[in-house]
Amino acid sequence: MRTTLLLAALALGAASAQTTPAVTLVPTPAASVTITDVPAGHWAREAIGVLMGRGLLQGFPDGSFSGQAPLTRYEAATLLYRLLTSGTLSQVQLTPADMQAIARGLEEVTAEILTLSARLNVAEAKNRDQDARLSTIEGQAPLVGARLDAVEAAVLATAPLLDGTVPRGEYLALQARVAALETERAANVPAPAPTVAQAQVSAPAAPVTPAVTTPAFPPAQKAPGEPQQNASQPRNLYLGLTATTPVSSEVRVGGEATLGMKNAVAGFGVQVSAGYRPSAKAFTAEAALTRPFAFQGVTPYAGVGAGAAFSPRRGAITENATDSYLSGLVGVDYPFNESVAFTGELGVRYFLSNHGYASGLDAGVERGVSPGARLGVKFRF
């Protein structure tokens, strides 16, 4: 409605500018008009500022324009009457710049009017569809009423069957007949002769002390503090003995001992190991953090660690060298019983130096990866 009024005011202003004598008035800049609710950059701000600056439109006392608020016919009549009786239309003079601003406003308003018209057509189509559905529902109302009347009649017809007085009367009559038959039977059946046990009621029987049966082999008593036989004690520590075989042409099979804890903290375990490889005269010492996983009777695990290898220095006979490395491993434990488990493990060691023969790397390499495998047993305790 406010958009229509704005168009009407624009049309009246344009017509007045073309048909009435031009009266020179001091124009009020559009920017000086206070408009509190029309933001800068709004498509209608320039047109509203021009019309309010010329006195053609007025805002509300609080300085707002309320462009989105609905306009009643009373407000529209009052606004047009004020414009016609104030003489503003006969005195206003629009400059070419004002006419261009009004023309731009008309172009932008035209697109909005077309959008509103399309939305109105959609709303009218939905209204017609709702009217048709309402008519269909109203046509079905008598059928629904007839079905409700039929259900009510059926309920009233079955009410006597649901009344508790009819089955209760039949139940009382049947109970009376059963009592009469029991009385007649008791009168016709002779009393049975007393038994020997009944004849000896005058002599009170001596109290019978129940016999206490002592088992021939009483269960053995556990000493205080001794664990029960069936109690399952967790076996967290283990000692492993494995044979190692690095994948290298220089280093052969060796042996390694491992001492570890399956669950040290937060589900992670720790282990330390020491090994010896006779072919390279190499000793190794390693510490690793492991993580076991439960999987259908076997225990796979993975871990990372670091260590050092001690072996003769390359090219020297009596001098030893130390090579440090980082390690990663994956393995699996297969329990033979609660105390013994078979273990297999694959590992990779990344040597940070290659001074001795323990790394198994080629002589001209400064650092590199040396894979290997372990196979052995673990004793849990």
Q: Which helix (H) or strand (E) holds 124?
A: helix 96-162
Q: What is the full DSSP assignment across 311-365?
A: EEBTT-SS-EEEEEEEEEEEEEEEESSSSEEEEEEEEEEEES--SBGGG---TT-
Tokens in use for 173?
């009559």
195 vs 207: CA distance, rounded Å: 21
From first to last of its 381 residues, the chain has per-residue pLDDT tens of 445 544 554 444 444 444 433 333 334 444 445 678 888 888 888 888 877 776 667 778 888 888 888 877 887 787 777 677 766 666 666 678 877 877 777 777 777 788 888 998 999 999 999 999 998 888 888 888 788 888 888 777 766 655 555 566 777 888 888 888 888 877 776 656 555 555 555 545 555 555 555 554 455 455 555 444 444 556 889 999 998 877 655 557 889 999 999 888 888 999 999 999 888 788 999 999 999 987 888 989 999 999 999 989 887 778 889 999 999 999 999 998 989 999 999 999 999 998 888 888 888 888 989 898 889 999 988
Could you tell me if 75 and 89 are in contact, meaning their C-beta atoms sit under 8 angstroms apart? no
In a 3-state reduction of DSSP, which class is residue 381? Answer: coil
63 vs 304: CA distance, rounded Å: 74
Query: In DSSP terms, which residues pair with 373 in a beta bridge?
Result: 346
Q: What is the full DSSP assignment across 268-286?
A: EEEEEEEEEETTTTEEEEE
Tokens in use for 200?
């000896």
Cα–Cα distances in angstroms (integers) from residue 169 to residues 31, 40, 156, in the given order: 98, 90, 21
Enter the pTM of the model: 0.40
11 vs 99: CA distance, rounded Å: 11
